[in-house]
Amino acid sequence: MWRYAVRRLLQAVPVFFGTTLLIYAMVFALPGDPIQALAGDKPVPDSVLRTLRDRYNLDDPLLVQYAKYMWGLLQGDLGENYTGQSVSEMLGGRWAVTARLALTAWLFELAAGIALGVWAGLRRGRLADTLVLGGTTLVIAVPVFVLGYIAQLVFGLHWQIFPTAGTEDGWPMSYLLPGIVLGSLGLSYVARLTRTSLAENLRADYVRTARAKGLSKARVIGRHTLRNSLIPVVTYLGVDFGNLMGGAIVTEGIFNLPGVGQQVFQSIQLKEGPVVVGAVTVLVLIFLLANLVVDLLYGVLDPRIRYG
């Protein structure tokens, strides 16, 4: 397994550099001068523009800029924004908020999604199956910002079950409603994946053999069928944690959570490329790490998988 883990880490290196180069190119290819944007409509002396553009390497070719950025990153430096603030310090206090939100959403889709998928898979073709398929299709069809505002209005303002904004009530209360909204799309996919995989495995030969040996229904489902059925679900859940970390921009905006997503959104508006690139670079690392953990978990879920 160790050789497999090292090999996967080495395979992640070109993926990391290729992804960060693409992100860097997209961010710094945006039209407009970020230095001029700091002053708004006020004129900026040419000497000041030249000095600042030289300080932030804006006149260098793109690949030279990227190489200087990566050299700093390898030394643990995410760079500075265009007002001289450290990107690491700007994002430092916000990672905890985004991590709590993503973890809440992930746990919600893990528990509720698998439970609904098992419930529907064991009752394929019945009312329960129809309700799960119909409900998840509806959730997938509704945009997250619409779902967020509806949830905020109904559960926050009308019924007053959850806080409507901010983090004053701490974890988990301040994060439950935005976490449910953020994890609703993932829950729908987890439920449908679990339902389909479980229904297929229930018709497999090894399940018929286990039943013929006299094993109880609970043992057949819990020990054999569900374990194999969770392999595609674990794949999705592992990848989705990285998606939740990066996809919280809209949710954090609706519920006024001071996380990384909110900072990235503000930085895009202000054309602060170093902040956007720094945040997304860390998210890419989280995404790659999650993929590695998922690959290693395959051997735990299915002993037939061996690492060479």
Based on the domain organization, do 105 and 249 belong to the same domain?
yes
Based on the domain organization, do 153 and 68 belong to the same domain?
no
Based on the domain organization, do 48 and 66 belong to the same domain?
yes
At residue 39, does pLDDT exceed 70? no
Which range has highest mean pLDDT (41-50, 98-107, 164-173)? 98-107
Q: In DSSP terms, which residues pair with 255 in a beta bridge?
A: none
Mean pLDDT of the chain: 83
Is residue 101 included in any domain, yes or no?
yes
Is residue 298 included in any domain, yes or no?
no
Based on the domain organization, do 34 and 165 belong to the same domain?
no
Percent of the chain with pLDDT over 90: 17
At residue 300, does pLDDT exceed 70? no
Of residues 114 and 36, the one with the higher pLDDT is 114
Average pLDDT over residues 205-229: 78
Based on the domain organization, do 109 and 15 belong to the same domain?
no
Place of tokens 């710094």: 28
Is residue 151 included in any domain, yes or no?
yes
Is residue 43 included in any domain, yes or no?
yes
Helix (H) or strand (E) holding 69: helix 62-74
pTM, to two decimals: 0.79
- At 308 the pLDDT is 53
Based on the domain organization, do 141 and 1 belong to the same domain?
no
Based on the domain organization, do 142 and 55 belong to the same domain?
no
Average pLDDT over residues 91-107: 89
Is residue 258 included in any domain, yes or no?
yes
Based on the domain organization, do 66 and 113 belong to the same domain?
no
- At 252 the pLDDT is 86
Task: For residue 203, give both structure tokens.
Answer: 């018709």
Is residue 107 included in any domain, yes or no?
yes
At residue 31, does pLDDT exceed 70? no
Structure confidence by residue, pLDDT tens digits, 282-295: 888 888 887 777 77
Is residue 32 included in any domain, yes or no?
yes
Q: Which domain holds residue 44?
A: 1-92+272-286
Burial of 119 (0-12, 13-18, 19+ CB in 10 A): middle
- pLDDT bucket at 177, cuts 50 / 70 / 90: very high
Based on the domain organization, do 101 and 75 belong to the same domain?
no
- At 104 the pLDDT is 93
- At 40 the pLDDT is 67
Which range has highest mean pLDDT (75-89, 129-143, 166-180, 224-238)? 129-143
Structure confidence by residue, pLDDT tens digits, 138-173: 999 988 889 888 998 998 888 888 888 888 878 888
- At 305 the pLDDT is 60
Based on the domain organization, do 159 and 243 belong to the same domain?
yes
Is residue 146 included in any domain, yes or no?
yes
Query: 86 — phi, psi (to 5°)?
Result: -70, 130
- pLDDT bucket at 307, cuts 50 / 70 / 90: low
At residue 35, does pLDDT exceed 80? no
Based on the domain organization, do 122 and 213 belong to the same domain?
yes
Task: For residue 227, give both structure tokens.
Answer: 């374990």
Based on the domain organization, do 154 and 36 belong to the same domain?
no
Q: What is the C-alpha to C-alpha distance for residues 255 and 87, in angstroms, rounded to an integer?
A: 24
Rounded to whole angstroms, what are the CA distances from 225 to 116, 203, 210?
16, 10, 10
- At 192 the pLDDT is 93
Return the CATH number at 124: 1.10.3720.10
Number of domains in the chain: 2
Average pLDDT over residues 179-197: 92
At residue 193, does pLDDT exceed 80? yes
Task: For residue 151, give both structure tokens.
Answer: 């949830």
